[in-house]
A and B are shown apart, each in its own frame.
Chain A
């Protein structure tokens, strides 16, 4: 059943992006919005808008009943969840389907399965996709830890089962350290979390973050090559590229094929991304998790393949089979995306929302700016700080970096601080040019190279 009217259950730049894709397909759009977003660009661009509640996301964008009611009252036949908010909430996807509507994304059971770390890891292993080597389950003695570490290879991370977000992790370089740290980690975990259980994982030093874009129709799946997002601050991606300059063709083929194997094995439907750690030193890659939604950085993939991923996911949700065969998908040149946030990089990345006094966007065939901004708009303080994404394409990486530097010079956002200054500094950095970066690179670099105000 083809979709005729799509409800956008999201906000900001991705809502604008989804509206544009739907309009290109001749689909009418309904923007669900909070009270704080009544004057947003997405509301202005959509054919209709429905107020779903107060500014706080918990009372609007995260409220399943309110979003469903908006879909029903507006006569929409499908819901696009964007990223964040309810996009990876299996209960929401199920509620949409139970209401007789189309959820633009995978089946609810696929979201649940891939959203569970252990189940996703098991699915990857079953599909022959390498995962980060670790202890099989919990380690119950120092001897067991030592045996597991010999098998995994040092250095290893000792992690508290009840920890998370980087808490309760210790690193052992050898067997002596391991013996000491296991007992220490156990008593600390017991004290901190009331649960002393531990497990172990291989530590990949200076890992890169590489992720593969896939499209599936529930039966077949294809990949649209990889992105590299190693430039991160506090685990948030800052600067993204496609393809990864760290991979040669054989490695690219191996990692992308592994992603298709996993997507096929779970009957994946829609657009999805498999995230991997990549170890430059050994050339090994390890699956971490799969995101069952469109991602912020999807435009770099669109720039190198010419595929409109958001249109494709809407077509698939409408019941179409994959239109593209793997051989039809070609990698052309290099693309870079910079996330432009309302944050002050000269002051600890303090959020700095305000009113857009002046907006000048660079225009060229190889430049794209996906944004929620317009002149006179006041950024609401209730949501994340992403204002837009500046994306460039070039025949090769060096040209793409040059074009990004020029595009950043051509971008003017007056009225408040943004992260443009950070990206200008990165575009000038020799390490960025040499692609000598990893996921732990940016934070120490910022300590050593403060961004002037």
Chain B
């Protein structure tokens, strides 16, 4: 089964640091452990989501600005 990076917190998932900036990561990018793949906004506080495993991003399973639960997959690694 493909490896996943999951949201550590419930909240709103953002793929970019601010609306005018590019995505932290895109499909096909490689990630190392500790790379920031997105932000989760919880109660008006932004928390970085860091990769806890290395690999290549096969797909984003959560969209930008999507409401996510803790443990919900954000990224599938190929």
A residues whose Cβ falls under 8 Å from a Cβ of B:
36, 55-56, 342-343, 350-351, 353, 381-385
B45 within 8 A of A: yes
Residues of B within 8 A of A351 (CB): 42-45
Q: Is the CB of A342 within 8 A of B67?
A: no
Q: Is the CB of A384 within 8 A of B44?
A: yes
Q: List 24 A-B contacts (CB under 8 A).
A: A36-B67, A56-B12, A56-B65, A56-B67, A342-B43, A343-B43, A350-B47, A351-B42, A351-B43, A351-B44, A351-B45, A353-B10, A353-B42, A381-B9, A381-B10, A381-B42, A381-B43, A382-B11, A382-B12, A382-B43, A383-B43, A384-B43, A384-B44, A385-B44
In the complex, A70 Cα to B42 Cα: how many Å?
Answer: 27
Residues of A within 8 A of B67 (CB): 36, 55-56, 382
B residues whose Cβ falls under 8 Å from a Cβ of A:
9-12, 41-45, 47, 65, 67
Q: How far is the CB of A389 from chain B (nearest CB, A)?
A: 17
Residues of B within 8 A of A382 (CB): 11-12, 43, 67
A sample of 8 more A-B contacts (CB under 8 A), given A351-B43, A351-B45, A382-B12, is A56-B65, A343-B43, A351-B44, A353-B43, A381-B42, A381-B43, A382-B43, A384-B43
Residues of A within 8 A of B47 (CB): 350
Closest to B9 in A: A381
Residues of A within 8 A of B10 (CB): 353, 381
Q: How far is the CB of B48 from chain A (nearest CB, A)?
A: 12
Residues of A within 8 A of B9 (CB): 381
Q: Select one of A342, A343, A381, A384 contacting B11, CB under 8 A.
A: A381
Residues of B within 8 A of A385 (CB): 43-44
Q: How far is the CB of A250 from chain B (nearest CB, A)?
A: 41
Q: How far is the CB of A264 from chain B (nearest CB, A)?
A: 36
In the complex, A384 Cα to B45 Cα: how many Å?
Answer: 9
Closest to B65 in A: A56
Q: How far is the CB of A349 from chain B (nearest CB, A)?
A: 9
Closest to A343 in B: B43
Closest to B47 in A: A350
Q: How far is the CB of A51 from chain B (nearest CB, A)?
A: 15
In the complex, A56 Cα to B68 Cα: how many Å?
Answer: 12
A-B complex: 7 closest residue pairs judged by Cβ atoms = A351-B43, A381-B11, A385-B43, A381-B10, A351-B42, A381-B42, A351-B45
Residues of A within 8 A of B43 (CB): 342-343, 351, 353, 381-385
In the complex, A385 Cα to B43 Cα: how many Å?
Answer: 6
Q: How far is the CB of A418 from chain B (nearest CB, A)?
A: 12
